[in-house]
Chain A
């Protein structure tokens, strides 16, 4: 008997994905990435001179990510301003994206990436990383490739992809395990976190599912970048 998810999806089926490029005219690069009801926007400013001077790195440019959620992106209002969670996710996002960027081309410079979640239904950091990767390419940053991100996990005993908020709160059986993963387009993992309860065998299964899913996310990101030209 196949596992039934609350919204009827199959275990390896992710929500409807949408990506748009160039949504913020002032930014050097910008994009929107939507997974189901989770919507993230990202804007890139840079490369530009890093201030204060003592933070400059003479060997390569610095990537600076700033992730935050709008107060009304969730059910219970979030007070505006950074939180520990948003600061952690900002750092995770930097680590997820950096391996794909050729920062040695811009010593002493900084590339600012601002990510905001407009509407949240789990997978926000993944949507943010997906939007940011597209925005960086749109901004003309030299990159080895894109980074794609998705959350995989386990609901009771079944491995699933792209958990919603209600799935993250799953309580039946073994409960929910949530594993956001980001990968480069040549299959390297640049970000991985886990919350829950899972065996090594099932974790490997989940990672394989993530690998397959990231490839599909990549196609959507690629299409969005190619379409910037058609629209013009």
Chain B
């Protein structure tokens, strides 16, 4: 049951009051994530695919690969293309049509999280310099929105990339033999990038908001980092942050990143 289009002011007041006391409606601490699960092989046709659940929030992410000419400014490197869709099936708030700004932003933030951390070794995705390189497509879809789609998508992207296997490539025919996967995994760094978003509500900061909490978030800060090294940041929504608030959020995310890594470690391939 979805209820009203946006969280009623009444609930918003209560949530804020509760947060001031350090409590959340579902009993979690401010810096605590809901339960995370990762399931593999959503689609056998993908080179890798996962379903990630954080509480009731669910996303699926699939990896497809293709061979094409490289970009002129990176003749010996493979490519990464990340796209995200907020499907109307996942919430009454999303409508059919071209991607909304939320979906576009989500895709780009996850893209930067992966790209800037140098997680994928693009030079190892070169088949023939100047002629043929692999392009890795990461496609993200929301299935049920109960807040924090962004972090769920980030976990999904990384888990799917780690599980993916490269398909056979017939050099002579110049064709990818989809359905025939080699045993070879994608060339990835050991340290995985994790994207965590923190939200400011009143004078408190939380992570992993439910949709109700997300509705009253005043501003958010998303940080992508791997093994403590920050490689991407996005501040979103329109309230301003003092420098002190910003630094506190950065510290919080650093701690939460370690906790989330522990939670998902057992699921990763």
* Chain A contacts to B: CB under 8 angstroms: 24-28, 30, 37, 39, 41-43, 45, 48, 66, 70-77, 80-81, 112, 114, 116, 118-120
Contacts and interface: CB of A to CB of B under 8 A. Distances in A.
B96 interface: yes
Nearest to A114: B89
Given A114-B88, A118-B42, A70 B139 contact: yes
Contact of A71 (B64, B98, B144, B178): B64
A80 B139 contact: yes
Given A25-B144, A114-B87, A119-B45, A72 B92 contact: no
A26 B2 contact: yes
A75 B139 contact: no
A128 to B, nearest CB: 12
Given A43-B89, A73-B46, A80-B139, 14 more contacts: A28-B1, A37-B44, A45-B88, A48-B92, A70-B139, A71-B83, A72-B43, A72-B46, A72-B63, A72-B139, A75-B178, A114-B87, A114-B89, A118-B60
B90 A119 contact: no
Contact of B146 (A26, A81, A120): A26
B196 interface: no
B17 to A, nearest CB: 26
B39 to A, nearest CB: 12
Nearest to B51: A118
Contact of A119 (B43, B66, B137): B43
Contacts of B1: 28
A66 B96 contact: yes
Interface string B33-69: 0000000001111110100000010101011101000
B91 interface: yes
Contacts of B213: none
- Give the 5 A-B CB pairs with smallest separation, nearest first: A72-B62, A75-B178, A72-B46, A114-B89, A43-B89
A70 B56 contact: no
A66 B143 CA distance: 15
Contacts of A27: 2, 89
B49 A72 contact: yes
B145 interface: yes
Contact of B91 (A26, A39, A66, A73): A26
Nearest to B41: A119
Interface centre among B85, B145, B179 (most CB of A within 10 A): B85
Contacts of B66: 77
Given A72-B63, A114-B87, A116-B89, A25 B56 contact: yes
7 contacts: A24-B58, A24-B143, A45-B2, A73-B45, A73-B46, A114-B87, A118-B60
Given A25-B56, A26-B146, A120-B45, A70 B141 contact: yes
Contact of A72 (B45, B145, B179): B45
Given A70-B60, A71-B62, A72-B64, A118 B43 contact: yes
Contacts of B83: 71, 80
A75 B56 contact: no
A129 B63 CA distance: 27
Given A71-B62, A73-B45, A80 B89 contact: no
A24 B44 contact: no
A45 B90 CA distance: 10
A149 to B, nearest CB: 19
A30 B92 CA distance: 13
Interface string B135-159: 0010101011110000000000000
Contacts of B141: 70, 116
Interface string B119-138: 00000000000000000010
A91 B62 CA distance: 27
Given A25-B144, A26-B146, A70-B62, A75 B179 contact: yes
B85 A80 contact: yes
A116 B87 contact: yes
A71 B2 CA distance: 27
Contacts of A114: 87-89, 96
A112 B179 CA distance: 34
Nearest to A74: B45
Contacts of A45: 2, 88, 92
Nearest to A115: B89
